[in-house]
Amino acid sequence: MGKTKDSYSIWIKIVSVVIPIVVALLFTVKIEYSLPIFLPPIYSSINALTALLLVLALIAIKNKKIKLHENLMKICIGLSLIFLLMYIAYHITSTSTVFGDLNKDGTRDLHEKSHVGNTLYIYAFILISHILLSIALIPMVLTSYVRAIQMRFDPHKKIAKITFPVWIYVTITGVVVYLMISPYY
């Protein structure tokens, strides 16, 4: 028995609420375990690769290469899931890094704050917009994907035109956030 539009809609809503709540709750969990690898550059690279593949998927669909577009989008969704798992694994096993913490003592004192200056506000803006849009992106990607697999291409195109720039922004700002905070790891 196939899924109806309504049952997909309900699952999209549930998943779109549960994922951010679970991620937020996991930020309160700390597991005493040293990961064998340092994940931030890896999941940042996944963001960069996802951005590249999103652009290639757009080019593919503009050139009517539907199967290539479909495959690239599935890879992008898979990469986003891998990113999320790595992001969670890192944050539940590591102390959060403080932007501007030059001496890496876990706080940003007045000297360090004056050293980073207005860059702190730029970083905060990029980080906050990245987080908020990544939450908003979940139902957008799921809705766009479901409409495509249901072969409802007009509604798919309509949501995809909004989803694409948001997804590109989230992936690129993910890389920018990493590059900005990486000196303080």
Per-residue pLDDT of the chain (185 residues; tens, 9 = 90+): 455 566 789 999 999 999 999 999 998 999 999 999 999 999 999 999 999 999 999 999 999 999 999 999 999 999 999 999 999 999 999 998 999 999 999 999 999 999 999 999 999 999 999 999 999 999 999 999 999 999 999 999 999 999 999 999 999 999 999 999 999 99
What is the domain range of residue 77?
A: 35-184
Q: Is residue 145 part of a domain?
A: yes
Q: Is residue 80 part of a domain?
A: yes
> By CB neighbour count within 10 A (0-12 exposed, 13-18 middle, 19+ buried), where does 32 fall?
exposed
Say how many residues make up the chain. 185
Q: Is residue 88 part of a domain?
A: yes
Q: Is residue 83 part of a domain?
A: yes
Number of domains in the chain: 1
Q: Is residue 5 part of a domain?
A: no
Q: Is residue 21 part of a domain?
A: no
User: pTM (2 decimals)?
Assistant: 0.92
Q: Is residue 6 part of a domain?
A: no
